Amino acid sequence: ISKKRYYGLALPIWSCTECDAWEVIDSRETLRQRAVAGWETFEGHSPHRPWVDAVEIACQACGGRARRIADVGNPWLDAGIVGLSTLKWTTDRAHWEEWYPADFVTESFPGQFRNWFYALIAESTVMTGRAPFQTLFGYALFRDEHGEEMHKSKGNAIWFDDAAEQIGADVMRWMFSAASPATNINFGYHIPHEEVRRFFLPLWNTYGFFVTYARVDGWTPGETDGASGARTLLDRWILSRLDALIGEVRAALDGYDAQRATRVIEAFVDDLSNWYVRRNRRRFWKGELDSDKRAAYETLHRVLVDLTRLIAPFVPHLAEAMWQNLVAAVQPEAPDSVHLADFPATREGQRDRQLEASVELARRVVALGRTARAASGLRTRQPLPAARVKLPAAMGGGLNADPATNDLLTREVLEELNIKELQLLTDESAMVERTLYPLLPIVGPRRGAAVAAVMAGARSGAWQLLHDGRVEVGGVTLETDEFQLTARARTGHEVAEDGDLLVALDTSLTPELKAEGLAREVAHRLQTLRRQAGFEVSDRIRVAIAGDAAPISQLAAHRDWLAAEILAVALEIAPAGTLDGAERVEELDVEEGHLRLAVARA
């Protein structure tokens, strides 16, 4: 426990110069009483060299002079009593009892588990018989982006100030919080880009979307009396998800699991950005500030404010910037800083688990529908006649047990997949043809003589898929690890499946559907021209669409829809259509012919 050094914890061991007897002095007062020389030199100083070395005591064995041994304590001996030495253990036991043991101790696990952590536990056990801490958090090491140790001499060291200036302190904090403490962190200037893409950009874009449209409409918090009654299904869903998130983050932080907290926050931000906001854009875009639009603003504002308070411990600077704009600037009675506000708590009656499960199922349907559409090669803006869905048996044949909620979710799926009809089926045979492949290396040893009947049934199609995922064939029930099933879409369909959920898109196209697809594609191009021209989101525009007769004829049938979609107060669709003062023009080749698009601010 000792080191032959000058600086350090002076070990209170006095050894006789004549008989080699030794003893431990337990306190300053004992040392004063036993001193026979040098006390005047030591008095008024801390118990360190050189002052304490001046004190000599009388040897109790032979009466000779005893002096302190020259060694000092191992640094870990000193570090191990920090919970005693810094908390007045010897002078104010009541004060010590108030603060001991520590709630939380953290350090790098590889470097400290046999040094500081062990010293804390061993010395506290010897001295007090108690554990020195309630929670110990150890973490792995910090490396460069290639997993190598950082050294100035190697040229791969990154100084904190440089990293914070180039990457941003909040990005670094989020990266460290999101990392598994059990594995090393490989750090470099390019690695945090993933955190920016996955969390920071979606959050900031959602925040920017809200601020942009709230300013256009002049909406501020407090102008939403009665808006809660106009909340839609998705409003109630995102508030339920928010309540779930708050509970999960609080539980994770109570358990000192920052990584889990960051993961559920990132998942929520994805839900907020890629589903709630995207599915509700038209509510914010419409001109009238009615109760529905106010409910949308109130809901999104509440979510962003609670989310700001929730992320404050992780990204304090970003959270503060959002708080100042969302709260402090418009609510004088609110705390001046997010870091002075209460951490969010769950609200009684806010959670709706059934609604969350139903929206999650609808989103799974949408995800599989997109996969099927991508496989078909048909662009998203091309409407399709139908999607046929085989739902999990537990869902009872619908997206939600409540007919009204089921209808609303069905509408969400229809719009998201750009289809005209959603058919929920229990029999998949009209959509796919399945082939059973028994796995002989497994089936053979297990089934013995029954293998021949199993293979014959598989070849002839005389088999049945059971509700629990097993297959009955040749008088044998095969377990799920004994076979593979492949699915081939029947003519006119494109199929995607995930476990017990299957989605088949009807890919047949009528002339009417093709015309609608063209209108959607042209609307997309015109919106792009608006942005390129630098128009504000609220600007009304004038538009002219000219070109070949066939696509012009198709677009004419969708004139009213196009005008509303692009905020056009004047829209000419004609083979020789022209626009005075056009600010942006685009030539567009489509399947039906050629078009010329022109836009100008109204």
3-state secondary structure 339-360: HHCCCCCCCCCCCCHHHHHHHH
pLDDT band for 538, please (50, 70, 90 cuts): confident
| pLDDT in the model for residue 170 | 94
Per-residue pLDDT band at 293 (split at 50, 70, 90): very high
Q: Please give the single-letter amino acid code of residue 537.
A: V
Helices 233-254/258-271 angle, 10° precision:
170
Give the residue carrying structure tokens 């908390």: 87
Give the pLDDT of residue 226.
52
Kindly state the average pLDDT of the residues 533-551. 91
Residue 298: the pLDDT is: 95
Percent of the chain exceeding pLDDT 90 equals 72
Residue 87, pLDDT above cutoff 60: yes
Read off the pLDDT of residues 7-40 as tens digits, 9 standing for 90 and up.
Answer: 888 999 999 999 989 999 988 999 999 999 999 9
Over residues 155-171, mean pLDDT: 89
554 vs 288 pLDDT, higher one: 554
Question: For position 195, what pLDDT does the model report?
Answer: 84
Amino acid symbol at 348: E
pLDDT of residue 439 exceeding 60: yes
Give pLDDT tens digits for 576-596: 989 999 999 999 999 889 999
The average confidence (pLDDT) of the chain is 92
pLDDT value at 368 more than 60: yes
Mean pLDDT of 536-556: 92
Residues near 600 by beta carbon (within 8 Å), at least 6 away in sequence: 541, 542, 579, 580, 581, 582, 583, 584
Burial (CB count within 10 angstroms: exposed 0-12, middle 13-18, buried 19+), residue 566? buried
The structure tokens listed for 315 are 């990204």
Is residue 103 scored above 70 in pLDDT? yes
**Strand, helix or coil at 502?**
strand
- Could you tell me how far CA 194 lies from the centroid of its own chain? 12
pLDDT of the residue at 421: 96
pLDDT single digits (tens) 43-64: 999 889 999 999 999 999 999 9
Q: At residue 559, does pLDDT exceed 90? A: yes
Given a cut of 90, whether residue 337 has pLDDT beyond it is: yes
Q: pLDDT value at position 274?
A: 95
Confidence of residue 101 (pLDDT cuts 50, 70, 90): very high
- pTM > 0.85: yes or no: no
| Confidence bin at 163 (pLDDT 50/70/90) | confident
Q: What is the pLDDT of residue 288?
A: 86
- Residue 441 preceded by cis peptide, ω within 30: no
Contacts of 452 (CB under 8 A, 6+ apart): 474
pLDDT at position 430, please? 79
Q: pLDDT tier at 111 (50, 70, 90 boundaries)?
A: confident
pLDDT tens for each residue of 449-470: 999 999 999 999 999 988 888 9
Cβ-contact 159, 165 below 8 angstroms: no
pLDDT tens by residue, 221-264: 976 555 666 899 999 999 999 999 999 999 999 999 999 999 99
Nearest CA to 195 out of 214, 179, 215 is that of 179
